[in-house]
């Protein structure tokens, strides 16, 4: 024990109790104890010091102890003192694992997290999430057991207060779960994810946020604008999640109305305003400005004057809005802050904002209860002005300026500004109200024109992003797969003609079946009271009934109905590397056999006249799925399409789900009655960046379900003799396994004909 100068014997006793030699602790000890003594009970103090002592002896330096001493009193205030043992358990478990480095960030964010969660039960859930996280990301790479600390955990603790401000505990759990599942084997990416740097981290965060998300209510808001206000403004959301320093404010300009991407519900005493109603209030306010506000020239007015004019004009616009829809008043009143009359001290603080907010409240709320004489006079003058009609911006500006002059105080110039309860968050920033003739230097300039640099030349189409189904969490991974599409390179079309000649006997046989299948255009409908022709059989029977004295059947006519064949077909070819293998018992590769089969099928479909497209796909990780058009719907089965088929090549892997979704978006656009997607593949879905072999199978299965929902019938022709294990998982009963690949050229067209008969 060093010679401390603690005068108070009690303080000396405390210092002895935590039993430490850390200098930095000594420097702050008196201050933290002062806070602790104010908050904790006597037992609590003892437990506090004992816990600090234990943490100090962990051998992790001074940092964890300092963090604990500083954070605990505040955390205890939120949670209750008896939460301490549980925290010590968590610390103990981190200490026993390789993650002891995470103890400091854990303790450092303890107080804000506790304040946010505010109950021991919820805190316990938070601990469960973190401990689960720790266990599952602590590395056992190459068989070393729990040797590597979890790369994401310290970052997670650092982000926890922010995350909890955006997410519910359930949302946090999902967000963490996603990160663990996708990045547990990749330390750098895991770090990116848990520092909320990577794109999908933000995307998942966005998805899990609490409150009313713009994307969920976008249509309702469009309808609201159109229905109630006859406006069809473009709505553009901005993100509120990542801009902590400067909160963006709603505004509108020529390009549309900018509104936040999420609104939490607001509660004002008894009144509960839903996020949707907050959006509506924001939009109504902007609509009001658009209708009734005319821009003013701002150059000769000070920022204070402009602020006053804005407050008055906002109130005028809201008065007019409430005239149109009286029910809006309830929402505005609940969202408008209620500044207390004596909240601001004009001797020390600039009270202009406070005065204006009070006035604004008073203009909106007849039961404001303020007693300031000037305020009451101006409320009266405002109402008198509005009683005459709609008034206008210049008149209201005159009133505002006179109010500012009348109530001006020296202290308005002070740097310390009273901000509490003065921000009306559904109002926009009024940028459209001002015209600046000269560039000013006291106001940031909005919408500076940016020079556009010509972007570099694009080659090919931009990628399309598709989600991928994650069966473990039962969620989609947003925009997970990038699909690039393009035309397949061309080869020599005569190769395909030669293949047709080779199978001419088979083609002849097919032709006979095709002729039978050709659509019969007319179908008879019998038993019609009114029809185009007399149905003799029925007419005679009726007559006999009639002559016999029975009641005759008057339905003696028949008519015709056209019954065309209206099918759109998409043939999706798996062009993965494995196609280059030789088929069992054959000199040809699977690729060549597929080529022959597709040739015959294309010929057959052309004969029938069905809409038909062919495309191939392969993938090289989720970032590069290639989708190659061989024949389009608008194209004839001519030399171009044949040339592309002739050049068919196989490489890379099989990410089936994304390719099917992409093909489906073409097929879905067809107007046909029946839509058929044939998938010709030789193996199970797989890709080199996916280690869980079930993942892509489940994704493909999900894709089949999506297609089914869109009215597309999917059918798989598998060339993998061992396919039975998984193919029924994906396609249900809609598949055929062709064991004898040599017979593929005749099987494929036959199968198609059987399917569409």
Partner 1 sequence: MTTDKDQYKVHAEPYYQAQGKEVQLYEAAYRNRLPVMVKGPTGCGKSRFVEYMAWKLNKPLITVACNEDMTASDLVGRYLLEANGTRWLDGPLTVAARIGAICYLDEIVEARQDTTVVIHPLTDHRRTLPLDKKGELINAHPDFQLVISYNPGYQSLMKDLKQSTKQRFTAFDFDYPDAALEATILAKETGLDEAIASKLVKIGQTARNLKGHGLDEGISTRLLVYAATLIKDGVDPLDACRMALVRPITDDADIRETLDHAIDATFS
Where along the sequence are the contacts to partner 1 (CB under 8 A)?
219-220, 222-224, 226-228, 230, 276-277, 280, 325-330, 529-530, 546, 549, 552, 554
The 3-state secondary structure of 694-747, one letter per residue: HHHHHHHHHHHHHHHHCCEEEEEEECCCCCHHHHHHHHCCCEEECCCHHHHHHH
What minimum distance in Å lies between the beta carbon of 329 and partner 1? 8
- If the CB atoms of residues 233 and 310 are measured against partner 1, the closer one turns out to be 233
Alpha carbon separation from 177 to 85, 200, 257, 379 (Å, rounded): 26, 13, 35, 55
What minimum distance in Å lies between the beta carbon of 518 and partner 1? 28
Could you give the CA distance from residue 446 to residue 449 in angstroms, rounded to a whole number? 9
CA dihedral 575, 577, 583, 587 (to 10 degrees): 100
Could you give the CA distance from residue 75 to residue 73 in angstroms, rounded to a whole number? 5
- If the CB atoms of residues 226 and 623 are measured against partner 1, the closer one turns out to be 226
What minimum distance in Å lies between the beta carbon of 228 and partner 1? 5
Give the three-state DSSP class for 348. Answer: coil
What minimum distance in Å lies between the beta carbon of 217 and partner 1? 8
Residues 6 or more apart whose CB falls under 8 angstroms from that of 469 comprise 476, 477, 657, 698, 699, 701, 702, 703
- If the CB atoms of residues 487 and 525 are measured against partner 1, the closer one turns out to be 525
- If the CB atoms of residues 230 and 300 are measured against partner 1, the closer one turns out to be 230
- If the CB atoms of residues 331 and 572 are measured against partner 1, the closer one turns out to be 331
What minimum distance in Å lies between the beta carbon of 330 and partner 1? 6
- If the CB atoms of residues 251 and 263 are measured against partner 1, the closer one turns out to be 263
Give the DSSP H or E segment for 525.
strand 522-528
- If the CB atoms of residues 214 and 603 are measured against partner 1, the closer one turns out to be 214
Beta bridge partner(s), residue 395: none
CA dihedral 594, 597, 603, 604 (to 10 degrees): -140
Give the three-state DSSP class for 167. Answer: strand
Q: How far apart are the first and last CA of the chain?
A: 95
The 3-state secondary structure of 211-256, one letter per residue: CEEHHHHHHHHHHHHHHHHCCCCCEEEECCCCCCCCCCCCEEECCE
What minimum distance in Å lies between the beta carbon of 738 and partner 1? 45
- If the CB atoms of residues 327 and 585 are measured against partner 1, the closer one turns out to be 327
What minimum distance in Å lies between the beta carbon of 614 and partner 1? 33
- If the CB atoms of residues 460 and 548 are measured against partner 1, the closer one turns out to be 548
What minimum distance in Å lies between the beta carbon of 205 and partner 1? 26
- If the CB atoms of residues 549 and 585 are measured against partner 1, the closer one turns out to be 549
- If the CB atoms of residues 326 and 671 are measured against partner 1, the closer one turns out to be 326
- If the CB atoms of residues 145 and 219 are measured against partner 1, the closer one turns out to be 219
In this structure, what DSSP letter does residue 534 have? E
What minimum distance in Å lies between the beta carbon of 288 and partner 1? 13
Could you give the CA distance from residue 580 to residue 478 in angstroms, rounded to a whole number? 33
Helices 352-364, 393-407: crossing angle, 10 deg rounding: 130
Give the three-state DSSP class for 325. Answer: coil
What minimum distance in Å lies between the beta carbon of 222 and partner 1? 7
What minimum distance in Å lies between the beta carbon of 530 and partner 1? 5
- If the CB atoms of residues 217 and 496 are measured against partner 1, the closer one turns out to be 217
Contact 144/132 with Cβ under 8 angstroms? no
What minimum distance in Å lies between the beta carbon of 219 and partner 1? 5
Environment class of 549 (CB within 10 Å of its CB; exposed 0-12, middle 13-18, buried 19+): exposed
Looking up tokens 């010929």 gives 603
Alpha carbon separation from 730 to 279, 696, 726 (Å, rounded): 43, 10, 7
Q: Give the count of beta carbons closer than 10 Å to the beta carbon of residue 693.
A: 13
What minimum distance in Å lies between the beta carbon of 544 and partner 1? 14
- If the CB atoms of residues 237 and 531 are measured against partner 1, the closer one turns out to be 531
- If the CB atoms of residues 454 and 549 are measured against partner 1, the closer one turns out to be 549
Environment class of 680 (CB within 10 Å of its CB; exposed 0-12, middle 13-18, buried 19+): buried
Contact 505/549 with Cβ under 8 angstroms? no
What minimum distance in Å lies between the beta carbon of 495 and partner 1? 46
Could you give the CA distance from residue 293 to residue 310 in angstroms, rounded to a whole number? 10
Could you give the CA distance from residue 524 to residue 532 in angstroms, rounded to a whole number? 11
The residue among 172, 69, 81, 186 whose CA lies nearest residue 126 is 172
- If the CB atoms of residues 325 and 446 are measured against partner 1, the closer one turns out to be 325
The per-type count for the chain, helices as H runs and strands as E runs, is 28, 20
Give the three-state DSSP class for 484. Answer: strand
């Amino acid at each position: 024990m060093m010679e401390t100068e603690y005068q108070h014997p009690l303080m000396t006793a405390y210092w002895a109790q935590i039993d430490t030699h850390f200098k930095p602790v000594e420097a702050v000890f008196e201050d933290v104890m002062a806070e602790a003594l104010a908050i904790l009970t006597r037992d609590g103090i003892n437990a506090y010091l004992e816990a600090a002592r234990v943490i100090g002896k962990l051998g992790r330096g001074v940092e964890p102890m300092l963090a604990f001493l500083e954070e605990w009193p505040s955390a205890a205030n939120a949670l209750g003192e008896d939460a301490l043992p549980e925290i010590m358990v968590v610390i103990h478990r981190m200490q026993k694992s390789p993650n002891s480095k995470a103890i400091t960030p854990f303790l450092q964010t303890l107080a804000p997290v506790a304040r946010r969660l505010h109950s021991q039960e919820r805190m316990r859930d938070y601990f469960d999430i973190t401990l689960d996280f720790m266990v599952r990301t602590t590395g056992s790479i190459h068989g070393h057991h729990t040797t590597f600390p979890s790369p994401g955990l310290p970052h997670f603790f650092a982000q926890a207060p922010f995350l909890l401000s955006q997410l519910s505990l359930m949302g946090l759990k999902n967000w963490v779960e996603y990160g663990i599942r996708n990045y547990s084997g990749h330390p750098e990416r895991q770090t990116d994810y848990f520092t909320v740097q990577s794109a999908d981290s933000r995307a998942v965060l966005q998805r899990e946020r609490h409150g009313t998300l713009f994307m969920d209510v976008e249509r309702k808001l469009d309808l609201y604008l159109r229905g109630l206000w006859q406006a069809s403004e473009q709505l553009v959301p901005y993100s509120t999640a990542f801009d902590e320093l400067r909160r963006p404010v709603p505004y509108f300009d020529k390009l549309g109305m900018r509104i936040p991407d999420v609104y939490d519900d607001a509660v004002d005493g008894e009144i509960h305003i839903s996020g949707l109603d907050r959006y509506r209030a924001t939009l109504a306010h902007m609509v009001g400005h658009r209708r009734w506000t005319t821009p003013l020239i701002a150059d000769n007015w000070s920022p204070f004057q402009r602020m006053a004019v804005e407050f008055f004009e906002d109130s005028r616009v809201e008065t007019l809005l409430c005239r149109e829809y009286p029910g809006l008043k309830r929402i505005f009143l609940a969202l408008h802050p209620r500044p207390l009359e004596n909240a601001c001290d004009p001797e020390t603080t600039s009270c202009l904002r406070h005065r204006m907010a009070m006035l604004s409240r008073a203009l909106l709320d007849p039961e404001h209860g303020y007693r300031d004489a000037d305020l009451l006079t101006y409320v009266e003058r405002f109402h008198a002005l509005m009683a005459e009609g709609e008034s206008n911006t210049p008149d209201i500006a005159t009133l505002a300026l006179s109010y500012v002059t009348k109530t001006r105080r020296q202290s308005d110039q002070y740097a310390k500004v009273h901000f509490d309860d003065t921000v009306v968050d559904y109002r926009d920033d009024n940028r459209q109200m001002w015209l600046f003739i000269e560039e000013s230097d006291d106001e940031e300039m909005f919408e500076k024109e940016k020079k556009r640099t010509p972007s570099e030349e694009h080659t090919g189409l931009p990628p399309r992003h598709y989600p991928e189904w994650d069966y473990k969490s039962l969620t989609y991974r947003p925009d997970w797969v990038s699909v690039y599409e393009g035309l397949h390179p061309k080869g020599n079309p005569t190769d395909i003609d030669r293949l047709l000649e080779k199978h001419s006997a088979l083609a002849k046989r097919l032709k006979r079946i095709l002729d039978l299948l050709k659509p019969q255009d007319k179908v008879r409908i019998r038993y019609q009271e009114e029809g185009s022709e007399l149905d003799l059989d029925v007419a005679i029977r009726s007559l006999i009934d009639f002559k016999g004295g029975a009641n005759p059947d008057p339905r003696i006519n028949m008519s015709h109905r056209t019954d065309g064949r209206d099918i759109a077909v998409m043939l999706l070819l798996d062009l993965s590397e494995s196609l280059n293998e030789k088929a069992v018992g054959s000199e040809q590769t699977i690729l060549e056999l597929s080529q022959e089969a597709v040739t015959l099928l294309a010929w057959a479909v052309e004969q029938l006249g069905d809409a038909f497209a062919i495309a191939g796909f392969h993938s090289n990780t989720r970032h590069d799925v290639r989708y190659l058009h061989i024949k389009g719907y608008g194209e004839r089965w001519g030399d171009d399409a044949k040339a592309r088929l002739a050049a068919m090549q196989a490489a890379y892997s099989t990410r089936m789900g994304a390719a099917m979704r992409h093909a489906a978006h073409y097929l879905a656009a067809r107007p046909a009655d029946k839509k058929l997607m044939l998938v010709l593949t030789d193996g199970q879905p797989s890709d080199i960046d996916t280690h869980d072999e079930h993942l892509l199978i489940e994704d493909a299965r999900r894709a089949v379900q999506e297609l089914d929902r869109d009215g597309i019938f999917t059918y798989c022709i598998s060339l993998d003799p061992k396919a039975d294990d998984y193919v029924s998982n994906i396609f249900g009963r809609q598949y055929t396994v062709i064991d004898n690949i040599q017979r593929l050229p005749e099987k494929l067209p036959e199968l198609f004909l059987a399917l569409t008969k």
